[in-house]
Amino acid sequence: MRHWKENIRKVAPYVPGEQPKGMDLVKLNTNENPYPPAPGVKQALKEMDYDPFRKYPDPTASDLVSALSQYYQVGEDEVFVGVGSDDVIAMAFLTFFNSELPILFPDVSYSFYKVWADLFQIPYETPVLQEDFSIRKEDYYKANGGIIFPNPNAPTGLFMPLEEIEELIAHNQNSVIIIDEAYIDFGGKSAMELTKKYENLLVVQTFSKSRSLAGIRIGYAIGHPDLIRAMNNVKYSYNSYTMNMPSLILGVEAVKDDKYFKECLDKIIKTREEAKVSLSKLGFIFPDSMTNFIFASHKERRAEDIYKALRENRIFVRYFNLPRLDNYLRITIGTEEEMRQLFAFLEVFLSN
């Protein structure tokens, strides 16, 4: 082996979720929003001028930061923005998780945490979820280099009440705690208000799910100005200009239109609750989801078989071939029509 190859960083190649192409498919596999972005996004795109693209974008992303600070009623110095919440969380790992002590996150959780920890050579431990997939907060009452978990958790969909979150934080004042709220808008209560009380709490959210802008790549974090400043210092030491002009312009529009935002959320929540009834009738069991997906297991049929049958019929759901998860399907909540197609197929398939 050539000597330079020895110095290549060793990572387990991460394989992103499948993005099938084509029109005649029902895509319920990556938790995208079935409704289009806000009308203001359409309008801003129509009015966008191409000439300014020759210049660098605003490195401070001030318009977007300002829109978020107004929306959440926090200071502009309490807002960090990045290229999707993956970028935001990666920056947070790099910025805050530099202890010799292991960071902690649930064994069943967003699979990227382990990947980032490996990439940045951060030691970690993964407390095991309880039998019902809930997080046992006492598992996090030990010396650690940091804590991260999604709330609601993924792929379980389970929400942890704010009182428990606060207890967990109160027990951890020596490390940074990141709550990854990618799915919070679908019915959970954000821990954002706790950032005023706990300066070691960082709350991360995204435009990819509830705001229908996965293709534009915007994530953000809210926290104490000391946390945000430290993250910005690292970000500017990595890439000063991460957010491009279209994302800055369109992101502002998505935040502005709260009426449309809430209408879409209401529709998705309604469809989700109806889907729970339908899934139960079909013999599925599932943790009670507060997200835009349901993590379901069938009482009699193997998840992998259902997954494959759906796939052959151009209905895509997510299947994780992992211990404890390999008899579950993660089904994104689509439009009413998409869910109708899903259930129409399942009804026939499961009765055979």
* Residues of this chain, 272-301, that bind a copy of itself according to CB under 8 A: none
Name the residue nearer to a copy of itself (CB basis): 95 or 291.
95
Name the residue nearer to a copy of itself (CB basis): 55 or 299.
55
Write out the E strands in the chain. 26-28, 79-82, 103-104, 124-125, 146-150, 177-180, 201-206, 219-223, 284-285, 293-298, 315-319, 329-332
**Residues within window 22-61 making contact with a copy of itself, judged by CB under 8 A:** 27, 30, 32-37, 41-42, 45, 48, 50-59
232: which 2 tokens? 């910005």
Token pair 């579950």 is found at 328
Closest by Cα among 113, 55, 61, 53 to 236: 61
According to DSSP, the residues that pair with 256 across neighbouring strands are none
* 289, containing H or E segment: none
Q: What is the pattern of x (binds a copy of itself, CB under 8 A) and - over residues 211-230?
A: -xxxxxx--------x---x
Q: What angle separates helix 336-351 from helix 303-312, to the nearest 10 degrees?
A: 120
In the complex, what is the shortest distance from the CB of residue 146 to a copy of itself, in angstroms, rounded to a whole number? 8
Contact 294, 31 (CB under 8 A): no
**DSSP labels, 172-232:** --SS-EEEE-TTGGGT---SGGGGGT-TTEEEEEESSSTTS-GGG--EEEEE-HHHHHHHH
Residue 264's alpha-carbon distances to 68, 118, 258, in angstroms, are 19, 37, 10
In the complex, what is the shortest distance from the CB of residue 189 to a copy of itself, in angstroms, rounded to a whole number? 25
Size of the site for a copy of itself (CB under 8 A): 85
Q: Which of 25, 119, 282, 309 binds a copy of itself (CB under 8 A)?
A: 119
**Residues within window 126-185 making contact with a copy of itself, judged by CB under 8 A:** 145-146, 173-176
In this structure, what are the phi and psi dihedrals at residue 60, rounded to the nearest 5 degrees?
-90, -5
Q: What is the pattern of x (binds a copy of itself, CB under 8 A) and - over residues 86-105?
A: xx--x---xxxxxx------
Name the residue nearer to a copy of itself (CB basis): 11 or 277.
11
Peptide bond into 155 cis (omega under 30): yes
Name the residue nearer to a copy of itself (CB basis): 12 or 277.
12
**Residues within window 226-265 making contact with a copy of itself, judged by CB under 8 A:** 226, 230, 232-234, 236-247, 250
Name the residue nearer to a copy of itself (CB basis): 71 or 241.
241
318: contact with a copy of itself by CB under 8 A: no
111: contact with a copy of itself by CB under 8 A: no
In the complex, what is the shortest distance from the CB of residue 136 to a copy of itself, in angstroms, rounded to a whole number? 23
Name the residue nearer to a copy of itself (CB basis): 17 or 161.
17
